Structure 1
Amino acid sequence: MVERQDRIIGAAGHVAPLEGFESNVVKIEYHSDLKEVQSDEVLAALLSDSCQRAPFDRLSWWRGLARDCGLSPLLAVAREHEQAAILPLTDQAGHLTGLSNWYTFRFRPILSGDPALLTALARNLARRAHRITLSGVPEEDGSASLLKSAFNAAGWLVLGSVCDTNHILRLTGRSYENYIVARAGKLRTTLKRKSGKLETQVLARFDETAWAAYEDIYAESWKPEEGSPAFLRAFAQEEGTAGRLRLGVAYADGKALAAQMWTVEDGTAFIHKLAYRNAAKPLSPGSVLTAALMRHVIDVDGVALVDFGTGDDPYKRDWMEETRPRFRLDMFRPFDRRNWPVLAKIGLRRLAANAKRR
């Protein structure tokens, strides 16, 4: 039997016992300067596109959120040799939240090695925060269960609920023609009637003219004001350099009427942004352009999955076939007085809901 003499070495230099983790020394680090992470060979490699196959799990994504979206990063890291557990967070007076926003499809911990590292990190986080809220957590990869187990084991009270919906399409080997024939009759009729009136272009690189058209269209669309155009542009440029960008534009008589930004990697197409001019709605430029991009990612890129992000918008059901829940996990230090008013409100709401069901 291994004698447990493990310790956590905290970023502030303190040392604390780590129970139940059979290893040598686990280091706990907190990084508010992401340049420190970039200069760390192990962490930089783990958070690079060579290891992470979705943009939301990469250091470059978090740098963009910090640079262009006003988020203050706090990367919490538990590491032992080459193994690491990472939670990208932001701090609001002791209430930590996930380093994510409306551009992020889903939030999850990055784990390379023993899941007990995440428990060690959760235990140490109790010294920095009385509450942690993580939204958009998936369960199809086990992230929600992993986080709940780790924080429960570390003495946190964990409350979970569904907070959003993710629409997806699994191709299961279908061609575009096989896929589109199964769409609703109304959509197929629209595409048949309107496709001949529009010209579509799909670019696999960043293009200044096409991006200017996107920004101009977005300004005239039904969409709310863009949260951070600078973030989106920088992300599109990075993805274009990496060969992952799919930038689509639909034209009529030489005028751009609709634009969409997708990315493709590791067999998945992510639909990030779409917009069309309100005045052009009778021509259905958004639907025609979505069809053109679908044809490209299915028949040219050969993706296995299309991810339409979060939000239960009705139009997504025209194109996607499945939904996946996204969870909000609220972790509380149960004996911290700052949490008592919130926990009291949650308790009252649950009592009221139970009374209604009786």
Structure 2
Amino acid sequence: MNSEYHDNFQSVQAVAGKKLDRSVQKSLFDRLDWVQQLHEYCVSDHQPILANSSENGAQAWMYLMKTGLGRYEGLANWYNFTFRPVFTGTFDEVTKLALLAKIASDLRKTSHHIEIYPVPEEDQSASLTERAFEQAGWVVFKSKADDNHILNVKGQTFDKYWAERPGQLRNTVRRKAKKNIVTTRIETQFSDEHWNDYLHVYENSWKPEEGSPEFLKSLAQREAEAGCLRLGLAYIDGQPVAAQFWTVENGEALIHKLAHIEDATKSSPGTLLTVAMFQHAIDVDRVNLVDFGTGNDPYKRDWMEMSRPRYRLEMFWPNNPLSWLPILKHYASGLVGRRSSL
């Protein structure tokens, strides 16, 4: 079994070829172009550590970045819905575990603390990573980091989905729609005009300052070229008052961003736009799942029907003295938590 790590994306591309591209990796957040753009626009001050192991045509990758002396984190931030090891080629669970354990073993040479999140568990990524690092001798602490709210469409039409929404939400939409004050549109092609409308809404909304508008613009352009962009815009008297940035691919709709201008709240443009976006995703795109990302905002419960946990994994190499105090603190914290629950 071979292993290596790369500190630049060009050498990863040379090794992986198209195996980390859209054509193979079905999840946006698993792709090389996602982490490359994220690094360029959001975390360029951190050196990438792109770890790889391979055997008989199967490969495992972990996209990491150096955040301190001997400290690595997942090459991810708040734009990620998930972060996990990525696999290519032909493999089974035993092969995946062995490949990942090899990466974990080699990372001991340069790191004593690795932290990754938000790791999903519905595909066993969290438990697989935990087992692989423990097998390589690391001490691993797993904790819940966040929740991911989703809607399983289950082949239903929008009308059926909508009939099951809370009565207060449906009444609000019915009353506001009757007034014909708000108009909506959903763009699948990128244009500077529509993107500027999106930026205008976001900059004048309740939302905090955007972390990296350049990253989102690059993402929107790239996803539009692939036919995956769904940019929703709502207007009152020709002025943009609400905006939503979705992508749709492989039967899944991802809700990346949404915002509305507070002065227009009484007309509920954000709610009316959300209705239009869900209707398009369900009846036109015919998605199987709508993913509202992470965060427990109360309004998500009106639109979604279930949530999935997202985990934080902290791995410490116990033979390094710098790990001893953090390990003890984690154990002590766990003991305190168990006692308080008795």
TM range, smaller chain: over 0.9
Query: Could you tell me how far 1:235 is from its partner in structure 2?
Result: 0.4
Which residue of 2 is the match for residue 345 of structure 1?
329
User: For 2:40 and 2:335, how far apart are their aligned partners in 1?
Assistant: 43
Which residue of 2 is the match for residue 38 of structure 1?
13
Structure-to-structure mapping, 1:147-296, within 5 angstroms:
147-195=129-177, 196-296=180-280
Q: Which ranges of structure 2 fall in alignment gaps of 5 or more residues? A: none
Query: Could you tell me how far 1:211 is from its partner in structure 2?
Result: 0.6
Return the match for 1:55 from 4, 13, 28: 28
What's the TM-score once normalised by structure 1's chain length? 0.90
Which residue of 1 is the match for residue 310 of structure 2?
326
| Residue identity in the other structure for 2:333 | R
User: For 1:36 and 1:225, how far apart are their aligned partners in 2?
Assistant: 34
Query: Could you tell me how far 1:208 is from its partner in structure 2?
Result: 1.3
User: For 1:302 and 1:356, how far apart are their aligned partners in 2?
Assistant: 47
Return the match for 2:65 from 85, 90, 93: 90
- Post-superposition Cα deviations, 1:85-137, rounded to whole Å, max 9, x if no partner, equal 00000112211110100000010111233211111111111111101111110
Give the match's secondary structure for 1:39.
helix
Give the match's secondary structure for 2:18.
helix
Contact 1:151 1:331 in 2 (8 A): yes
Which residue of 1 is the match for residue 117 of structure 2?
135
Give the match's secondary structure for 2:222.
helix
Query: Could you tell me how far 1:355 is from its partner in structure 2?
Result: 2.9
Identity %: 46
| Residue identity in the other structure for 2:168 | K
Which residue of 2 is the match for residue 99 of structure 1?
75
1:110 corresponds to 2:86 = yes
Most deviating of 304-313 and 193-202 = 193-202
Which residue of 2 is the match for residue 78 of structure 1?
53
Query: Could you tell me how far 1:342 is from its partner in structure 2?
Result: 1.2
Larger radius of gyration: 1
Query: Could you tell me how far 1:352 is from its partner in structure 2?
Result: 2.2
User: For 2:14 and 2:104, how far apart are their aligned partners in 1?
Assistant: 25
| Residue identity in the other structure for 2:169 | L
User: For 1:332 and 1:268, how far apart are their aligned partners in 2?
Assistant: 35
Which residue of 2 is the match for residue 14 of structure 1?
none
User: For 2:80 and 2:3, how far apart are their aligned partners in 1?
Assistant: 26
| Residue identity in the other structure for 1:103 | Y
| Residue identity in the other structure for 2:106 | N
Structure-to-structure mapping, 1:114-129, within 5 angstroms:
114-115=95-96, 116-129=98-111
Query: Could you tell me how far 1:312 is from its partner in structure 2?
Result: 0.7
1:27 corresponds to 2:2 = yes
Contact 1:165 1:311 in 2 (8 A): yes
User: For 2:282 and 2:241, how far apart are their aligned partners in 1?
Assistant: 23
Most deviating of 299-308 and 343-352 = 343-352
Give the match's secondary structure for 2:23.
coil
Query: Could you tell me how far 1:278 is from its partner in structure 2?
Result: 1.1
Q: Which ranges of structure 1 fall in alignment gaps of 5 or more residues? A: 1-25
- Post-superposition Cα deviations, 1:63-88, rounded to whole Å, max 9, x if no partner, equal 11111002432110001242100000
Which residue of 1 is the match for residue 38 of structure 2?
65
Structure-to-structure mapping, 1:307-322, within 5 angstroms:
307-322=291-306
Query: How many positions carry a matched residue from both structures?
Result: 331
Contact 1:221 1:277 in 2 (8 A): yes
Most deviating of 229-238 and 127-136 = 127-136
Contact 1:44 1:59 in 2 (8 A): no
User: For 1:281 and 1:230, how far apart are their aligned partners in 2?
Assistant: 28
| Residue identity in the other structure for 1:351 | L
Most deviating of 95-104 and 330-339 = 330-339
Query: Could you tell me how far 1:173 is from its partner in structure 2?
Result: 0.8
Q: CA RMSD in A?
A: 1.1
User: For 1:52 and 1:347, how far apart are their aligned partners in 2?
Assistant: 37
User: For 1:134 and 1:243, how far apart are their aligned partners in 2?
Assistant: 31
Contact 1:247 1:262 in 2 (8 A): yes
